[in-house]
Structure 1
Amino acid sequence: MKTCGIIAEYNPFHKGHIYHIQKSKEITQCDCLIVIVSSFYSQRGLPSFLSRHDKTKLALKYGANLVLELPACFACQSADYFARYAIQSLSVLDIDCLCFGSESNDINTLQSISLKETIDPKKNINQNQKLSLKPNDILGYQYIQHCKEFKIQPISIQREEAFKSATQTRLDAYYTNQDFQEYFHLEQNWNSYYPYLRYFLQMSSPESLAQFHLVNEGIEYRFIQASHHKNWNDFLNACISKTYTKARIQRTCMMILLQIRKEDMPSSFYGCRVLGFDSIGQSLLKEKKEKPIYTRFKDLPLFLQEVERKSKALYTTFSNIEDRMIIYDRY
């Protein structure tokens, strides 16, 4: 089988994602399209509007053959680590290529960027003025870097301006009817989560907060000080600075709520957490049955069992969801 991977969030799912799936299959002529998707929580540290069950159902409906999960502890990361963990997981299935959307659609330019020469490592990539990269180009750059390690061919497709971004779709979802809105859990937002975070921060010492992943550089003191604010936006604005971006704060707060400790975080994720498949995806899984592929909760490494238990407990506090593996056959 020729295999192609897609890294996605689907927060929320929209027409641009259908285009991405179908265009990837057209360009690569792959036999099996594999999507790895963040599930409960996103790369920006946001609760997902769609459950992982619905993300899987939609991905399979519109052309994916196999859907994998990128657990919350690996999804809620900066672009570099998000890309690294996702590609490490896809590499278990020996994928041939990775197809991603890009505003520039100039893979040669993205491949030629030298990280050390153009980026200040103390700042995130958005804060480096020498690079005029847009969001998908930023991720694309990281995908290319990690594809090199596993000899995966990176393939870019043009990000179509006709399709709204997931960010714009999230904003519009509050005010207008959108495609796939029946799947939206609009209560999944930081306004809902903040009372729990605020209470936890006010009950914790800086030393206890410092044990959680991503809590460093004294951000714990900033969080505790800002927790006197009674609403999320005021808290967030009080924490944002030149050092701490909005996304960095959201990711760090999510790690605190999920109680993911620094000492437990693995540096790599060479495994596949299966969310759903069709007959083609099932055939691929059978071919790779000797690989670390997890289809049942009890087979997960203990750390990931804890991450899933905590993620699901937090997410379902605000939404009643259907959550089971999907076996789909479109034929």
Structure 2
Amino acid sequence: MKKKSVGIIAEYNPFHNGHLYQIEESVKATGAEVVIAAMSGNFVQRGVPAIADKWQRAEAAVRSGVDIVIEIPTVFACNSAHNFAEAGVEILENLGADFISFGSESGNIEELKGIARVIEENSEYIENFISKKTKDGWSYPRARRAAVESITGASAASLLDSPNNILAIEYIGKISNALPVTIMRTGPGYNEFETTEKFASATAIRSLINENEDISHFMPEEAKNIFLKSEPVDKDVYFRLICHKVLSADSTDMEKAPAGGEGLANKLKASIRMCSNLEELSESLKSKRYTRTRIDRFICQTLLGIDREKKTDNYIRVLGLSSNGREYIREVKKSETCRLPIITNINKDIKNFKGIGYGISVDILAADIYNIAAGKDLYRFSEYLRRPFCE
């Protein structure tokens, strides 16, 4: 009999006490015996390299209480909240997650469901509203927020002012079979640099790590030890890789990136020689119309050659397993209820499944680029040699 499971969509960039709190509260709320995490890979959803590679982040998660860590394919992970959520939910539901748990600033599942329902029931109106406003120079998030406010009023629409609420609403809109559960976010907000005795946002922790400050209060011990030994991307090397790609790529091909369009490729080409680092480049392109997140994501998609016209099926790439997780995966395979290919050995498994070649090729390139920028040996750390971490 399959064990009761809860799924979480995460980035663990890095894994910290807030993530541990979410896991513990999710298990309490659902009675789950297995925790499954669908996690972004070497490049996170907002379009920048993770602070540690996906294998290290998966190990930190398993050592801290997650039973199964699955990579969300790069083409979906380094994309809009809509695509990120859709791929993550599909992975978790195919693995039989009984519940999908997510943090939110709201903590109120019914009001989050209410906004998700409004968006679904008024999708045509909202898309037309967004289309009109973006043509007038509005950013997509601003236009979407205004569209929802025109239906619900300002109070209900204010849920869309908080990043975790936005993702929570996307998850709810994609869930078909699992029961959604939300855990109210505790401690500092998503982008806040303030810390409390035990909690700090991932943004604050990354800043502390970059400044060689003490992070021991904010992360589980084993996770902290893994991240302190990690080899992060060298920002200068990463920027030079971007420069080479932008200077050598064709503008028409660049515009095919999911975050591209509206002349962004030409703007990027025109700016690249004027900037000495990625921060300058992103800031030079940012405007009311183009948010910083969209710019960063477009640059990353350009570097990785992600093309919205090339399609890939979703798949389940296993990055880490506890003994409990290994048993659960075996049961899922036996049940034959999972419609997505389960990949543990890229060399063997990719030959057995059609429709995932493009997605896998982007994952391989993403790993190679990450390893170059982090100064890692391309062969030893290649996707062809890496195997899931097993506790």
Shared fold, TM over 0.5? yes
Number of aligned positions between the proteins = 324
Alignment match of 2:51 (pick from 39, 49, 52)? 49
Cα offset for 1:160? 0.4
Corresponding residue for residue 171 of structure 1: 207
Cα offset for 1:159? 0.4
Cα offset for 1:250? 1.1
User: Cα distance 1:118–1:209, how it changes in 2: closer, same or farther (>3 A)?
Assistant: closer
2: distance between equivalents of 1:28 and 1:155?
Answer: 8
Q: Which of 246-255 and 294-303 deviates more?
A: 294-303
User: Cα distance 1:191–1:249, how it changes in 2: closer, same or farther (>3 A)?
Assistant: farther
- Is the 1:97–1:152 Cα contact (8 Å) retained in structure 2? yes
- The answer to whether residue 215 in structure 2 is matched with residue 215 in structure 1 is no
- Is the 2:234–2:373 Cα contact (8 Å) retained in structure 1? no
Which amino acid counterpart does residue 178 of structure 1 have in structure 2? I
1: distance between equivalents of 2:323 and 2:232?
Answer: 35
Which amino acid counterpart does residue 266 of structure 2 have in structure 1? Y
Identical-pair percentage: 28
User: Cα distance 1:204–1:311, how it changes in 2: closer, same or farther (>3 A)?
Assistant: closer
1:154-191 deviation line (CA, Å, top 9, x unaligned) = 10111002522212222222221213265155742655
- Is the 2:41–2:53 Cα contact (8 Å) retained in structure 1? yes
Cα offset for 1:126? 5.3
2: distance between equivalents of 1:39 and 1:309?
Answer: 11
The alignment partner of 2:70 has SS state of strand
Compute the TM-score of the two structures, normalised by the length of structure 1: 0.90
The alignment partner of 1:67 has SS state of strand
Higher helix share: 2
- The answer to whether residue 357 in structure 2 is matched with residue 302 in structure 1 is yes
Corresponding residue for residue 188 of structure 1: 233
Corresponding residue for residue 284 of structure 1: 328
- Is the 2:70–2:319 Cα contact (8 Å) retained in structure 1? yes
Corresponding residue for residue 141 of structure 2: 125
Corresponding residue for residue 205 of structure 1: 250
Which segments of 5 or more consecutive residues in structure 2 lack a partner in the other structure?
150-156, 188-195, 217-223, 351-355
Which amino acid counterpart does residue 77 of structure 1 have in structure 2? N
Instruction: State how 1:1-331 maps to structure 2 within 5 Å.
Output: 1-113=3-115, 114-115=118-119, 116=122, 120-121=129-130, 122=134, 123-125=139-141, 128=145, 130=149, 131-132=157-158, 133-147=161-175, 150-161=176-187, 162=196, 163-175=199-211, 176-179=213-216, 180=224, 183-184=227-228, 185=230, 187-188=232-233, 190-228=235-273, 229-266=275-312, 269=314, 271-289=315-333, 290=336, 291=338, 292-298=341-347, 299-300=349-350, 301-319=356-374, 320=376, 323-328=386-391
Which segments of 5 or more consecutive residues in structure 1 lack a partner in the other structure?
none
2: distance between equivalents of 1:264 and 1:49?
Answer: 28
Compute the TM-score of the two structures, normalised by the length of structure 2: 0.77
User: Cα distance 1:172–1:118, how it changes in 2: closer, same or farther (>3 A)?
Assistant: farther
Q: State the superposition RMSD in angstroms.
A: 2.1
2: distance between equivalents of 1:94 and 1:167?
Answer: 32
Greater Rg, structure 1 or structure 2? 2
1: distance between equivalents of 2:258 and 2:248?
Answer: 18
2: distance between equivalents of 1:53 and 1:205?
Answer: 33
2: distance between equivalents of 1:186 and 1:273?
Answer: 23
1: distance between equivalents of 2:60 and 2:284?
Answer: 38
2: distance between equivalents of 1:22 and 1:58?
Answer: 16
